[in-house]
């Protein structure tokens, strides 16, 4: 007789890529990653997760060749790993503290390379991205200061036709500050549940 899978063992084919943008020193877990890990812990058992700490990777500055050579060779090194991970994911989660009202530099560098991947022969980047959901986990001193970054991420998703999976915001500060934000912790428990709208 067929067995009904237990709901917490559901394997629904989703593959989450968590791109961590914090520049905290190695061994110091930031508020934003802590919050994202709370959200990830609530995923059904067996859901695939890949975590990339962008500040630990070698990410070259993007070079704008759109109006000169017009195309880009396939990336190498850590950028190649990120492109492969990006294409393999169904759900991309930016794990990004607010830095000066915007994205931290490692994550911004990664996004700038989308402009190269859109012009890399053999990579159907735009078509692939349009099948994915983009979410943002962020912390900052207060919610209002996160709004420009939240708007920027939503517009990036729209540009590539990605589903917008929304934002999980928590009140950050020194490490562990977000643990006192009960609303954020409660939101984390369901944040990754739904597929993007
Ligand atoms: C370079 C830098 C810029 C920051 N800019 C802002 C800001 O514009 N607005 C704000 O509310 N907090 C700002 N913060 C505070 C961080 O957003 C906050 O401490 C956050 O919780 C850090 O996340 P993490 O613990 O995951 O690294 C900034 C922190 C740094 C290091």
The reply to whether ligand 1 has any atom less than 6 angstroms from the CB of 99 is: yes
Angle at CA 120, nearest 5°, toward 15 and 105? 65
Residue nearest to atom 27 of ligand 1 (CA): 30
* CATH number of residue 126's parent domain: 3.40.50.360
Residue nearest to atom 19 of ligand 1 (CA): 173
Distance of CA 38 from the midpoint of ligand 1 (Å): 19
Residues 144-177: pLDDT tens digits? 999 999 999 999 999 999 999 999 999 999 999 9
Q: Which residues pair with 93 in a beta bridge?
A: 18, 135
- If one counts the domains in the chain, the total is 1
Q: How do 91-95 and 133-140 pair as beta strands?
A: parallel
Asked if residue 193 belongs to a domain, the reply is no
146 near 98, Cβ under 8 Å?
yes
Burial of 127 (0-12, 13-18, 19+ CB in 10 A): exposed
Asked if residue 8 belongs to a domain, the reply is no
Distances (CA, A) of 115 to 30, 103, 144, 179, 181: 29, 17, 29, 36, 36
List the domain range (segments joined by +) for residue 55.
Answer: 15-188
Residues 6-65: pLDDT tens digits? 333 344 799 999 999 999 999 999 999 999 999 999 999 999 999 999 999 999 999 999
pTM of the model: 0.94
Average pLDDT score, the chain? 93
- Among the listed residues 46, 53, 49, 8, the one whose alpha carbon sits nearest the alpha carbon of residue 28: 53
Query: Among 23, 37, 97, which residue has the most ligand 1 atoms within 8 Å of its CB, making it the best to mutate?
Result: 97
Residues 41-65 as b/e (b if ≥16 CB within 10 A, e otherwise) read: eebbeebebebbbbbeeebeebeee
Residue nearest to atom 8 of ligand 1 (CA): 100
Asked if residue 28 belongs to a domain, the reply is yes
Q: For residue 196, name the pLDDT band (cuts at 50, 70, 90).
A: low
**What sign does the CA torsion over 129, 56, 25, 40 have?**
positive
Asked if residue 4 belongs to a domain, the reply is no
């Amino acid at each position: 007789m067929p067995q009904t899978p237990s709901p917490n063992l559901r394997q629904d084919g989703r593959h989450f890529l968590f791109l961590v943008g914090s520049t905290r020193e190695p061994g110091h877990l930031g508020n934003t990653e802590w919050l994202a890990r709370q959200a990830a812990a609530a995923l059904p058992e067996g859901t695939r997760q890949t975590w990339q700490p962008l500040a630990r990777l070698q990410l070259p500055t993007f070079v704008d060749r759109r109006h000169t050579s017009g195309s880009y060779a396939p990336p190498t090194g850590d950028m190649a790993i990120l492109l492969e991970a990006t294409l393999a994911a169904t759900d991309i989660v930016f794990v990004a503290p607010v830095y000066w009202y915007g994205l931290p530099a490692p994550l911004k560098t990664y996004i700038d390379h989308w402009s190269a991947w859109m012009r890399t022969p053999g990579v159907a980047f735009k078509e692939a991205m349009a099948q994915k959901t983009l979410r943002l986990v962020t912390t900052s001193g207060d919610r209002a200061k996160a709004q420009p970054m939240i708007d920027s991420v939503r517009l990036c998703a729209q540009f590539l036709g990605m589903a917008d999976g929304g934002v999980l915001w928590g009140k950050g500060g020194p490490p562990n500050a977000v643990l006192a934000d009960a609303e954020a912790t409660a939101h984390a428990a369901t944040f990754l549940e739904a597929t993007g709208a």
